[in-house]
Structure 1
Amino acid sequence: MHVQSVTTALADAFLQVRDQSVRLCAGLETEDFVVQPMADASPPKWHLGHTTWFWETFVLIPNVPGYRVFNDQFNYVFNSYYETVGRRTLRTMRGNLSRPTVAEVYRYRAYVDEHMTRFLAERDLPDTLESLIVLGLEHEKQHQELLITDIKYTLGHNPLFPALDIPVTEHKPQQPGTLRPTRAGAITIPEGVYTIGYQGDGFCFDNELGVHKVYLNETTLAGNLVTNAEYLAFMEAGGYSQFQHWLADGWAWVNATKAEAPLYWHKIDGTWHNYTFAGLEPIDPDAPVCHVNFYEADGYARWRDLRLPTEFEWETAALLGNLNWGQRWEWTASAYLPYPGFKTVPGAVGEYNGKFMSGQMVLRGASVATPPDSDTSDRTRPTYRNFFQPDKQWQYTGIRLVIS
């Protein structure tokens, strides 16, 4: 009974996750599925194909005798970065693939979904395969978040700034009616030794493992994120033109890109606007600032004579009290490095996190684009370690400060 209920739950979760990916694309026109205005933002068609390829490559082909692949050329098209699985098209070339067509990608999804549904219904799964299915669900949820951010990048760089009906509330105030909420609900971490890393029995990514102790000084984190109004004060004070607020790499980025505001901000007739899925709108002063990179977050903190929290301070504060997190991925001052004892598992699954532990910074929390929790896992664990290169802006990233 237990095995049957677990299998049924996985089958239901699989269909729910697969349907959500399609729903996110429901408002797109055919042309929207192919465009790739920058290397980091993959076309929606590619996301739909890649997440399908994951199920076919890692579940169906190894575990279903006689399974016939939908198209033996799709491994080259939809493999992302798995060296173990073979050659792949360059990431920068994904937007040049007029074929396979959008219609064929949807046929591919239907074909794999049919076989996966049958697979989950017909057999009991060993623990290793059950874990792989859960990882696949989490993988597709991550791509759902990327679908949202990549679609926004495409439409936000269209001169028409088209609106799109997509389930993201981008500019919800943190506490309605409050301005400059930097100290509201601040969390103080007493001096001491704290345990870091995932300690539960459910799903987590391998980069959360390696439970270990850290010593922390007494530290107080702001209860809320930096708002648009607060960040605008930095801009108006000449923050982007004063080198003393920036790391050397950050100052080089400012000069190379001529940056003067967060991504999607446009000054029109003397008023700052930003692009959201509702179209181009005046910025909401009370909303958490969004689409800033690590350099901008660090520069703002230095301008305030403050700093960003380490990932260990952030995790501890989140576990100690109500940190009011979940609207923006929050930059930390921590480089993305392995925890003590981290080991890469053999095979393609081992390529998921470990090989990216170089040149990236850790973000904590979640964002308005993060898929909600499900019965199979918790996507918003305080121990979850997101990571991006310090110049990246296109995710829903924001700023929390250490205020003392």
Structure 2
Amino acid sequence: MDTIYLDHAATTPVHPEVVEAMLPYWTGSFGNASSTHSAGRGAKLALNDARDRIASFIGSSSSELIFTSGGTESDNLALFGAAEAGRSRGSHIVTTRVEHHAVLHACERLSRLGFEVTYVPVDEYGQVSLVDVQEAVRPDTILISVMHGNNEVGTLQPIEEIGCFARDRGIVFHVDAVQTLAYEPLRLSELPVDLMSFSAHKLYGPKGIGALYIARNTRFIPQGYGGSQERKRRPGTENVPAIAGFAKAVELFDRNRYEYREKVERLRSKLVHELERRLGKEAFLLNGHPCERLPHILNISFPGISTETMLMNLDLAGVAAASGSACTSGSLEVSHVLRAMGLSEERAGSAIRFSFGAGNDEDQMIRTAEIIETVAARLRNKI
């Protein structure tokens, strides 16, 4: 049985051209980029070339981009580095209730270290308002962290408006852009953002590699010690093969961004249409913002059928979906994002996240809808 993979927000398959781009740095060109001999210089050249290409993709200077082990480290590094750097001016941090746990758990740790954190609410669509952020800010606020696109419901946040406000107040602004790197054009030289986190495996790159944008003149204290790599901001031997793969993935997406976006939007609409036709519009509910959203994420509640039960039945039928964040999908707890949106227990406890990618097609959407129709009918005692 061929699996219909609808969990691209968790991770994507590595593109064959990305694998090809990585192979030389595991074999012939395996030098340490910090070494001064020819093998090291070759690795350094590849490292600099990859950094330049990724920086160009996000509209930043190469010197403002450092490599990390992924989005989680990037979020952690941004928050701890900025908080420590700003401690002489204040100890208050503002974030939202719907952030990825890489931010929320980091904020919990910062609270234990003596910082105060305010968690701003969101509306029923999962979107934060600029007014609520403004009202949360205090004279001692040193850092605001708001994700760009939500990983569970796809809702986009007004980061430009929040960033302008933060910049006017001299507050460092961090944005988790792990989900949006592939689908939302970024020109960081023009955006009022000081720190932005990325990960390669959300756009057909390898796992275990990410990046952190640190705008020039941003107050930041490194959180690791032991080497001078990455401008002394993130020590440790760089993972050159993965970095080369990250750059290749970015290049492929840059070349085909419009086609990728159109395709996943079409697949999303197809699945919704098929479910409406087979189940009826009243049988399910869409979660997240109807317009200001990512194109590849679809969060649906099937009232009367628990998330766990639906996921188990989908998996048995060959459909891979999720309950929310990939980092917590093994948990049976209701999503903190859906709770923050104020959804009913029944709605939040029956939500499934489908996320689409380049390997999906419309026939798979039809087949997925057929499977859901069968599962729903059986569980609701209609057959």
Fold agreement, TM-score > 0.5: no
TM-score, length of structure 1 as denominator length: 0.27
TM-score, length of structure 2 as denominator length: 0.28
Greater RCO, CA 8 A, separation 6+: 2
